[in-house]
């Protein structure tokens, strides 16, 4: 009896300890309990669906979609890369990948991918691939119906491996010439500085396209070369530069700032995510006047460079408000060869501001996110005392109004009419003048207009859509009877007229055609030279650099603020 009682007491004691342990774990570390609980629930759901769902499920796809949606609910930059996608992550960090070196586009009529732009000195250019070449087969596998992502995956691979590519090349007869190439893949490194030059009035110009890889080394060499060629001021073009490595931005900032300056500070939840990055070396030039070009696609490390030079009153920022990415990601190793790129901190530039524009933490009820309104941003000050704000990218010191492209141009590009015309132009012209001198003639544009008309080109006009909506509203509210004559007169004036639109918007259309043609012969470098011919941002930067008094005044505290 005593033994039985003792056994019961022991069992009861164990049960009590278990209950106490359970509740103490739950109350003392509720977050860990919730994580464990939800992981168990998720695992159970996957197993139940796999066993009982009416259709056969792909567990890899199902779980991957669950992971992707979970991470995307945090922010767009926290991503999971399984073992088979490690090359994609490596490309982001190093700025290189194994492939042929070409952009491709998808032709909806042909249902095939087409070479849109081979890069200079890459396998694609070396074997003679041209823009307009239609991709037919890779190693005997027909590419019909495969999307760009699938074709791109087939074109990429380990550097040094080879494959056979069959293409159809357009010819002057209006048909296609079949061609076959054996291509050896190489490590493709997009140039960090696709173009640099000394412009008028001794203004140096450097187009910096990325902070991936090791661009600071190229930047240093290029900058010193420009100075040797007579550059007495500098434009750094960061437009459309989506960022890359934070260390590289700090290194380039160091070329123009004294040693020991804090360029960026990161702040995260854990100690390891918080750090300060200072200039560690002696600068290259503390005195040369600098202007930085930015736009809405200038992001991340580009904002660290442009923002730090602005905060330390070292450069005039010109253009349009930057993207506003103030979040830092680091790679974390996961089981089975996977990696997660996770947002661990926010970064703050020298004035103390964070440029992050989107508040991912405080989402709307429907799950959507919005930009932080200007009314909620805070004022900070540059080293000299100039006012700057947080919460919305880097605002330029000189804002340049963006030109709006005409509606018709969108449809001309969408329907490949500009691209196809450039292809035919190149077939007729083995060579053209240099990018600095090339111009589209009036005769060329007449040919283009004839091509557009022959293609039975159709496009929407926003004015027609708005007028139709206005008529419906007027009818609904009872105004149509009295306003019918006015509506008829307006309809007559807004009548769809292709000839008129092609002439009225000829400047913008010619610019797009010219750029498409030039890059067929002179690649990305030629395209940039062409675009800089008529560049309002660059013109504004050159004006301020050529006016030392104005430049100095712009980087000083306004007289009113000094009082």
**Residues forming the active site:** 300, 311, 325
Q: Show the tokens assigned to 319.
A: 């253009």
Contact yes or no for 306/294 (Cβ under 8 A): yes
Cβ-contact 112, 143 below 8 angstroms: yes
* Beta-strand pair 233-237/203-207: parallel
Listed residue (184, 144, 189, 177) closest to 162, CA to CA: 184
User: Which distant-in-sequence residues (6+ apart) come within 8 Å of 299 by Cβ?
Assistant: 241, 242, 243, 322, 323, 324, 325
**Which structure tokens are listed for 154?**
């087939």
The dihedrals phi and psi of 119, each to the nearest 5 degrees, come to: -85, 150
Other beta carbons within 10 Å of 548: 11
Question: 233-237 and 290-294: which strand pairing?
Answer: parallel
3-state secondary structure 411-438: HHHHCCHHHHHHHHHHHHCCCCCCCCCC
CA angle at 210 for the pair 206 and 212, rounded to the nearest 5°? 135
- Residue 102: exposure state from Cβ atoms within 10 A (0-12, 13-18, ≥19): buried
Q: How many CA atoms lie within 13 A of 30 on its CB side?
A: 1
| Among 290, 284, 268, CA closest to 216 | 284
Spatial neighbors of 497 by CB under 8 A, at least 6 apart, are none
Quote the longest CA-to-CA distance of the chain.
113
Q: What is the DSSP string of 207-223?
A: E---BSSSHHHHHHHHH
Query: Residue 286 class from Cβ within 10 Å (0-12 exposed, 13-18 middle, 19+ buried)?
Result: exposed
CA end-to-end span of the chain, whole Å? 95
């Amino acid at each position: 009896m005593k033994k039985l009682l003792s056994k019961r007491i022991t069992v009861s004691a164990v049960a009590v300890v278990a209950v106490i342990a359970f509740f103490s774990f739950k109350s003392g570390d509720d977050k860990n309990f919730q994580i464990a609980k939800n992981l168990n629930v998720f695992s159970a759901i996957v197993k139940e669906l796999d066993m009982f769902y009416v259709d056969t499920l792909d567990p890899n796809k199902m779980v991957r979609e669950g992971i992707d949606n979970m991470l995307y609910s945090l922010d767009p930059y926290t991503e999971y890369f399984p073992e088979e996608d490690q090359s994609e992550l490596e490309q982001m960090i190093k700025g290189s990948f194994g492939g042929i070196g070409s952009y491709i586009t998808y032709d909806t009529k042909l249902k095939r991918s087409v070479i849109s732009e081979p890069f200079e000195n890459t396998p694609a250019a070396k074997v003679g691939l041209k823009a307009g070449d239609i991709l037919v087969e890779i190693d005997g596998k027909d590419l019909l119906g495969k999307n760009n992502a699938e074709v791109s995956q087939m074109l990429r691979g380990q550097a040094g491996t080879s494959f056979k590519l069959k293409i159809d090349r357009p010819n002057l007869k209006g048909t296609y010439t079949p061609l076959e190439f054996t291509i050896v893949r190489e490590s493709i490194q997009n140039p960090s500085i696709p173009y640099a030059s000394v412009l008028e009035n001794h203004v140096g110009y450097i187009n910096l396209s990325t902070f991936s890889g090791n661009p600071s080394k190229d930047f240093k060499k290029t900058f010193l070369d420009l100075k040797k060629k007579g550059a007495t001021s500098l434009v750094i073009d960061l437009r459309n530069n989506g960022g890359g490595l934070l260390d590289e931005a700090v290194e380039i900032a160091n070329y123009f700032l004294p040693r020991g300056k804090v360029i960026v500070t990161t702040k995260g939840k854990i100690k390891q995510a918080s750090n300060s990055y200072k200039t560690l070396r002696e600068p290259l030039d503390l005195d040369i006047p600098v202007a930085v070009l930015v736009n809405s696609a200038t992001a991340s490390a580009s904002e660290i460079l442009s923002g730090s030079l602005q905060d330390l009153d070292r450069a005039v920022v010109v253009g349009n408000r930057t993207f506003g990415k103030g979040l830092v990601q680091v790679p974390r190793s996961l089981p089975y060869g996977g990696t997660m790129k996770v947002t661990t901190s926010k970064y703050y530039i020298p004035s103390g501001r964070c440029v992050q524009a989107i508040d991912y933490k405080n989402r709307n009820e429907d799950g959507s996110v919005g930009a932080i309104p200007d009314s909620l941003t805070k004022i900070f000050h540059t080293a000299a005392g100039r006012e700057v704000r947080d919460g919305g990218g880097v605002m330029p010191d000189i804002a340049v109004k963006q030109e709006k492209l005409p509606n018709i141009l969108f449809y001309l590009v969408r329907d490949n009419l500009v691209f196809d015309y450039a292809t035919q132009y190149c077939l007729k012209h083995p060579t053209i003048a240099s990018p600095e001198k090339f111009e589209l003639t009036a005769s060329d544009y007449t040919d283009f207009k004839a091509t557009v008309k022959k293609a039975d080109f159709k496009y929407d006009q926003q004015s027609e859509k708005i007028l139709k909506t206005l008529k419906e509203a007027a009818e609904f509210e009872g105004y149509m009877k009295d306003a019918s004559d006015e509506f008829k007169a307006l309809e007559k004036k807004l009548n769809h007229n292709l000839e008129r639109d092609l002439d009225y918007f000829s400047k913008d259309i010619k610019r797009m055609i010219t750029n498409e043609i030039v890059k067929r012969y002179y690649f990305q470098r030629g395209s940039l030279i062409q675009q800089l011919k008529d560049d309002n941002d660059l013109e504004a930067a050159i004006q301020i650099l050529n006016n030392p008094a104005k430049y100095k005044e712009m980087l000083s505290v306004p007289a009113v603020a000094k009082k």
